[in-house]
Amino acid sequence: MATAYFMQRIIELTDAASDQENIEMVVYNCPSIPDRTGYILGRNKENPLPKILELAHELERQNVDYIAIPCITAHYFHPDIAKAVFVPVGNGIKETAEYLVSAGVKKVGIMATDGTVQMHLFDSVFKDFDIQCVYPDVECQKLVMSIIYDDVKAGRKVNMEEFYTVKEQLFEAGAEVIILGCTELSILKRDYEVGPRVLDIIDVLAADCVNKCAVARPECQSLITK
């Protein structure tokens, strides 16, 4: 679902007057890749990196100009992927930091998988941009994981009260903007009302692709919900 939605956002953010002005995309949607969070946290031993690299090399053979990774937890492997191919590989976390700087945001709340949170994927990049990250407490992080795995991935209805509980806790901790740092949460934003001051990293990834490969619509400059 997240990959299909990512493609949809690229199309929606492209200023195209005809089919021919849209971006050509080669997509490898591979649900058999081992769970990234489980591997990062040591809960399973099957390393997803070999399969990810296999797909990256296949995209390289397809002569693509740019590779995007619409899985935020997989950004844990970004250095390995970027070194393995000659094609530029987008870094959605870095692109998000640059967007936040342009918007004057200094403190953000992160909703993401346990793997992303515990490996400090956002902090490790955001600190170089003088952006502070705040995270849900233990109980609220459990709600985030339940939304991602038990609801969105399972195709079930989301209890939005749980989402709002986490969001409010992050605002109370001083966050100016909430980052949806998992592409399953992007699906939530597509299907439900998430309220103001939310930035979806899928939108940032899509806007990055459009800015590099086509002409962007003005909406690419206004990605934080009002």
Phi, psi (degrees; rounded to nearest 5) at 137: -70, 180
Local structure of 92: helix, strand or coil: helix
Distance CA 102, CA 93 (A): 14
Q: Is the pLDDT of residue 190 over 90?
A: yes
End-to-end CA distance of the chain: 25
Give the model confidence (pLDDT) of 156-175 as tens digits.
999 999 999 999 999 999 99
CB within 8 A of 183, min separation 6: which ones? 2, 5, 6, 70, 71, 72, 201, 202
Q: Which of 133, 182, 209, 213 is catalytic?
A: 182
220 is catalytic: no
Give me 104's structure tokens: 């004057």
**Whole-number mean pLDDT of the chain?**
95
Give me 222's structure tokens: 């206004």
Q: Which of 71, 133, 213, 220 is catalytic?
A: 71
Q: Grade residue 2 by pLDDT with cuts at 50, 70 and 90.
A: confident
For the segment 213-223, the average pLDDT, to the nearest whole number, is 93
Domain boundaries, the chain: 2-91+204-221, 92-201
Q: Let me know if the fold of 2-91+204-221 is the same as that of 92-201.
A: yes
Helix and strand counts by DSSP (H, E) for the chain: 11, 4
- Level-2 CATH architecture, domain 2-91+204-221: 3-Layer(aba) Sandwich (3.40)
Local structure of 61: helix, strand or coil: helix
Local structure of 179: helix, strand or coil: strand
Local structure of 2: helix, strand or coil: helix
Record the pTM: 0.92
Local structure of 74: helix, strand or coil: helix
Give me 219's structure tokens: 């909406």
133 is catalytic: no
For the segment 8-20, the average pLDDT, to the nearest whole number, is 95
Q: Grade residue 139 by pLDDT with cuts at 50, 70 and 90.
A: very high
For the segment 194-204, the average pLDDT, to the nearest whole number, is 97
- HSE-CB for 24 with a 13 A CA cutoff: 6
Q: What is the DSSP string of 93-149?
A: HHHHHHHHHHTT--EEEEE--HHHHHTTHHHHHHGGGT-EEE---HHHHHHHHIIII
Phi, psi (degrees; rounded to nearest 5) at 179: -95, 125
CA-wise closest residue to 200 among 224, 221, 217, 165 = 224
Pick the CATH number of 92-201 from 3.30.420.40, 3.40.50.1860, 3.40.50.920, 1.10.10.10: 3.40.50.1860
